[in-house]
């Protein structure tokens, strides 16, 4: 029998530091801060210094998937752009 453990709302709205969020996203803490400033990463700051973040984990996973797709797309585009001048010189 396959039992799935239900995630609680408390777990979904867990308190994370910037470093913990970076670990979950597999990016650097600087990139987390940059995305927070750009408004592309959903978060709520708690405290005056903003050390603690309330990141919704399901949003974090959605963001991580989108980020990986965008990163892969940029790699493909940069490869194609790098090959275009080489193709022109061969003709």
Q: What is the pLDDT of residue 71?
A: 66
Q: Is residue 2 part of a domain?
A: no
Distance CA(44)–CA(73), nearest Å, equals: 29
Query: Mean pLDDT across the stretch 8-27?
Result: 68
Q: What angle do CA 69, 25, 6 make, to 5 degrees?
A: 105
Enter the pTM of the model. Answer: 0.44
**Could you tell me if residue 17 is inside a domain?**
yes
Return mean pLDDT, the chain: 65
- Residue 12 to residues 55, 58, 78, 87, Cα–Cα distance (Å): 8, 7, 36, 50
Domain with residue 41: its CATH number is 1.10.1660
Question: pLDDT-derived band of residue 9, with 50, 70 and 90 as boundaries?
Answer: low
- The residue length of the chain stands at 91
Inside any domain, residue 20: yes
List Cα–Cα distances, 60 to 7, 30, 37, 66, 90, in angstroms.
Answer: 15, 16, 16, 10, 45
Number of Cβ within a 10 Å radius of residue 63: 19
| Total number of domains constituting the chain | 1
Domain presence at residue 3: no
Residue 4 lies in a domain: no
Contact (CB, 8 A) for 75 and 39: no
- At 18-76, the pLDDT tens digits run 787 788 777 888 888 888 788 777 666 655 655 555 555 555 666 666 666 666 666 66
Domain that holds residue 71: 9-90
């Amino acid at each position: 029998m396959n039992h799935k453990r239900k995630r609680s709302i408390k777990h979904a709205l867990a308190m994370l530091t910037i470093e913990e969020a970076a670990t979950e996203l597999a990016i650097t803490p600087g990139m987390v801060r940059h995305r927070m400033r750009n408004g592309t990463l959903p978060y709520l700051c708690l405290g005056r210094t903003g050390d603690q973040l309330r990141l919704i984990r399901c949003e974090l996973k959605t963001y991580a998937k989108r980020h990986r797709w965008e990163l892969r797309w940029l790699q493909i585009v940069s490869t194609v752009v790098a090959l275009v001048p080489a193709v022109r010189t061969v003709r």
